Amino acid sequence: MPTLWLDDIGADDLDVVGGKAASLGELTAAGLPVPSAFVVTADTYRSFIEASGIDTELFEAVDIDSDDSQALAAAAEHAQDLILETDTPPSVREDLLSAYDEMGDSDVAVRSSATAEDLPDASFAGQQETFLNVSRADLLDRVKECWASLFTQRAIYYRQEQGFSHTDVDIAVVVQEMVDAEKSGVLFTSHPSTGAPTAILEAAWGLGEAVVSGAVSPDNYVVDRESGDIEEVTVADKKVMCVRGEDGETIERSVPEAKRTERVLSPEEIDRLLTIGERVESHYGEPQDVEWAIDDDTVYVLQSRPITTIDEETAGSADAESGSEATNATAAGVADGGEMEAPEDVRLTGIGSSPGTVTGTVSVVTKLDNLDKVSEGDIIVTEMTTPDMVPAMKRAAGIVTDEGGMTSHAAIVSRELGVPAVVGAEDATDRLRDGQTVTLDGDMGTVEQGTTVSTDDDEQAEPDPVAQASSEHSPVKPMTGTEVKVNVSIPEAAERAAATGADGVGLLRIEHMILSTDKTPARYVEDHGERAYIDEIVEGVRTAAEAFYPRPVRVRTLDAPSDEFRQLQGGEDEPSEHNPMLGYRGIRRSLDRPGEFKLELRAFERLFDLGYDNVELMLPLVTDAEDVLRAKSLMREVGIDPEKRNWGVMVETPASALCIDELCEAGIDFVSFGTNDLTQYTLAVDRNNGGVADRFDELHPAVLDLMSRVIGTCREADVATSICGQAASKPEMVQFLVDEGVTSISPNIDAVRDVQHEVKRVEQRLLLESVR
């Protein structure tokens, strides 16, 4: 039989219908009001691949090294195409369509139900596909798409990593009548964390998707199950709802004004839902999280799962507890496939690396995910961001990473985009789930479950740290003798950075321009030619040079460690280093690869030709004068006259600070402190190692002593001094440097206005002291 009706499914059918369908069958058998459905069994899928003869090719196609991302992408595409392009056998087709007709001629939901329930996280096995509002004409295609979901990159990778054989995993598909819900939500039959006999109901208007996606905060009802008293009712302002559009698709609509603050569930409805909840709970013998919908006064059970979040330790004392605290955990979490799960009172801490507070829906992004999954206003949760995530980061309302510090890619880019961020939150990707509503505080470095700030549209409007910073002070830019510039790492941020009124760009990193091509410089040149490589750099720099003209823009030549290059196409030719921070990066790489370096220099030359005389050239990670003199002669080779252009070096190794006399003699116009590196090398504290982060102190006397000596020598040699490391945003560093007589300070975009004020305050104090 290619299909089985829910009524015919028993506990023994788990292997042929998968977990999701088995549980619906069980609920149906218990007499609960489940919308009717049939299941395309796992045997049907298996006979489809075997009878059509694609099985051998399919399993061979996915027998690859899953760490090879290109091979993985190609394997997934090949396997999915095989399934999608193979005709469904006529007998299966007929059976499916006649089952559909038997259910009545209305649209259905089609969901995959993987049978590999023994996998630790079955969602990875390929059960994440769900299609709503599927018509008869599309039914067969959607079923095949569910089958093909067994072979997404993510699913292949996961099975391979976990040591599961691809040949052992099958998939069933549930085809279920769509309920045109007037109201829907979730019912926890016991308190989700204490297990107390307190039922929690969440309810919103329309289809469940608005609650599931976190687009709406639902009403919340707390009921004492013993007395039946409704102890607490929190009526939310429900601005949006999901409804069925004219063509059957799910669309988001504004809730009519009169219904926004209207209570969704009447006491009678709560009573009916509780009765059903109790039946589900007694059927399973443990507290349940029940997904429900009400259509035309009929209550439906859509799904039920045990509540897995009950804390065993507190469960004993649960009776005494009030259930009201659960009201904080309003928006239900969502597992893959849009299923609701019990809310956990999540609270994470990390480093607040880009200011602002924002509430949004979690979108967990793994390296294999399609970035299209990140929608406008989502909160990206990922191990660490990469350059190819920048378009998604722009759409996001906030960013949370497991790894990284204040100078990580996520921190730098989010600041420049004005997107609040918390980095280094350690296990965020494990503890947060797609669809959960969380509030992120980029100042405090916290991420909390639910909406802990107002969700008023006005207050939720794009937080703009630059605007926020300005609004705390007078809008007039303070006049300072010390220049206050700004750091820029992505050309997209140039306009926004220029609007701060900064005196120029103190550091324009070009790494992003290169890394975002997803190719190492060598591979890029091999594939597209030298001219195109130069164009990439010219276009990126030009965006900033144009936005700031005639204010100076200090452009640093390439400084990415080899581990970042190794992740790109062509990365296999990069050295594999034990400690890339002490390795092949900055000027040492450039001098070792003069061919590539000269292409960068030719980009500068072109910019000068184009009239961007505000562009300055800065060399990273120099150790001594020899580095500088060799670079200078390469500049000459491409036609740049060092005497006519403004150029200088980063001081970010203790050696360069100690050799500052020689560096000045080499003819530089400026130095800029890279305190991120200067601190790591002076204190021997890896800047990316969270384990020693408490020892990373840019204000350490040893670091300040080196800086003080450099400023003194440079003043005598008439060489300008600046800072462009993260510490430039710290008031204590600003005070120290202005006292020492630094020429300019280049902080992050969000700190510009504060630094301008701080500089002004210190300068005024110095003036006062001089006349007293």
The residues binding Mg ion (CB under 5 A) are 652, 674, 677
Q: Which is nearer to ligand PEP, 184 or 682 (CB)?
A: 682
Residue 235 is classified by DSSP as: -
Among 403, 536, 605, 677, binds ligand PEP (CB under 6 A): 677
Asked whether position 724 contacts ligand PEP by CB under 6 A, the answer is yes
Q: Single out the residue of 340, 335, 419, 338 nearest to residue 385, CA to CA.
A: 419
Choose the stretch contacting ligand PEP; rule: CB under 6 A; options: 55-63, 376-384, 669-677, 730-738.
669-677
x/- site string to ligand PEP, residues 603 to 642, per CB under 6 A? ----------------------------------------
φ, ψ (nearest 5 deg) of residue 251: -125, 155
Closest distance to ligand PEP from the beta carbon of 481 (Å):
23
Closest distance to ligand PEP from the beta carbon of 711 (Å):
16
Residue 675 binds which entry of ligand PEP, Mg ion, none, with Cβ cut-offs from 5 to 8 Å by kind?
ligand PEP
Report yes or no: 744 and 482 within 8 Å, Cβ to Cβ.
Answer: yes
b/e code 404-423 from CB counts within 10 Å (16+ = b): bbbbbbbbbbbbbbbbbbbb
Among 149, 152, 309, 676, binds ligand PEP (CB under 6 A): 676
Closest distance to Mg ion from the beta carbon of 14 (Å):
56
Residue 442 is classified by DSSP as: T
Closest distance to ligand PEP from the beta carbon of 24 (Å):
54
Peptide bond into 550 cis (omega under 30): yes
Q: Give CA–CA dist 447/317, Å, rounded.
A: 28
Closest distance to ligand PEP from the beta carbon of 627 (Å):
16
Choose the stretch contacting ligand PEP; rule: CB under 6 A; options: 145-153, 339-347, 528-536, 671-679.
671-679
Number of H helices, E strands in the chain: 30, 32
Q: Which is nearer to ligand PEP, 339 or 677 (CB)?
A: 677
Report yes or no: 41 and 5 within 8 Å, Cβ to Cβ.
Answer: no
- Of 409, 512, 664, 757, the active-site residue reads 409
- CA of 494: how far to CAs of 266, 553, 556, in Å? 54, 10, 15
Within residues 640-659, the interface with ligand PEP by CB under 6 A covers 652
Q: What is the residue-wise DSSP string for 287-345?
A: -EEEEEEEETTEEEEEEEEE-----HHHHTTGGGS-SGGGGGS-SPEEETTTEEE----
Choose the stretch contacting ligand PEP; rule: CB under 6 A; options: 163-171, 468-476, 595-603, 672-680.
672-680
Residue 724 binds which entry of Mg ion, ligand PEP, none, with Cβ cut-offs from 5 to 8 Å by kind?
ligand PEP
Q: Which is nearer to Mg ion, 269 or 652 (CB)?
A: 652
Closest distance to ligand PEP from the beta carbon of 290 (Å):
51
Q: Which is nearer to ligand PEP, 300 or 681 (CB)?
A: 681
Q: Give CA–CA dist 262/406, Å, rounded.
A: 45
Residue 215 is encoded by which pair of tokens?
């687009």
Q: Which is nearer to Mg ion, 463 or 674 (CB)?
A: 674
HSE-up (13 A, CA, CB side) for residue 649: 32
Closest distance to ligand PEP from the beta carbon of 73 (Å):
30
Q: Which is nearer to Mg ion, 194 or 679 (CB)?
A: 679
Angle at 300 between CA 296 and CA 306, to 5 degrees: 155
- What is the chain's percent helix, strand, coil content, to nearest 5? 45, 20, 35
Asked whether position 407 contacts ligand PEP by CB under 6 A, the answer is yes
Residue 714 is a catalytic residue: no
Choose the stretch contacting ligand PEP; rule: CB under 6 A; options: 69-77, 317-325, 527-535, 668-676.
668-676
x/- site string to ligand PEP, residues 302 to 331, per CB under 6 A? ------------------------------
Q: Please state whether beta strands 339-341 and 333-335 pair in parallel, antiparallel, or not at all (unpaired).
A: antiparallel
Q: Give CA–CA dist 121/124, Å, rounded.
A: 6
Within residues 508-527, the interface with ligand PEP by CB under 6 A covers 509
Instruction: Give 224-227's long-range contacts (Cβ < 8 A, gap of 24+).
Output: 224/197, 224/198, 224/323, 225/189, 225/190, 225/197, 225/198, 225/199, 225/274, 225/278, 226/197
Residue 418 binds which entry of Mg ion, ligand PEP, none, with Cβ cut-offs from 5 to 8 Å by kind?
none
Q: Which is nearer to ligand PEP, 194 or 407 (CB)?
A: 407
Q: Which is nearer to ligand PEP, 378 or 403 (CB)?
A: 403
Cβ-Cβ contacts under 8 Å for 193 (sequence gap 6 or more): 309, 310, 311, 314, 326, 329, 344, 345
x/- site string to ligand PEP, residues 546 to 575, per CB under 6 A? -------------x----------------
Q: What is the residue-wise DSSP string for 683-700?
A: HT--TT-GGGGGG--TT-
Residue 73 is encoded by which pair of tokens?
């992408």
Q: Which is nearer to ligand PEP, 225 or 512 (CB)?
A: 512
* Helix 701-717 with 731-740: angle, nearest 10 deg: 40
Asked whether position 675 contacts ligand PEP by CB under 6 A, the answer is yes
Cβ-Cβ contacts under 8 Å for 661 (sequence gap 6 or more): 713, 717
Residue 478 binds which entry of Mg ion, ligand PEP, none, with Cβ cut-offs from 5 to 8 Å by kind?
none
Residue 166 is a catalytic residue: no
| Active-site residue set | 409, 724
Task: State the residues that interact with ligand PEP by CB under 6 A.
Answer: 407, 507, 509, 559, 652, 674-677, 724-725
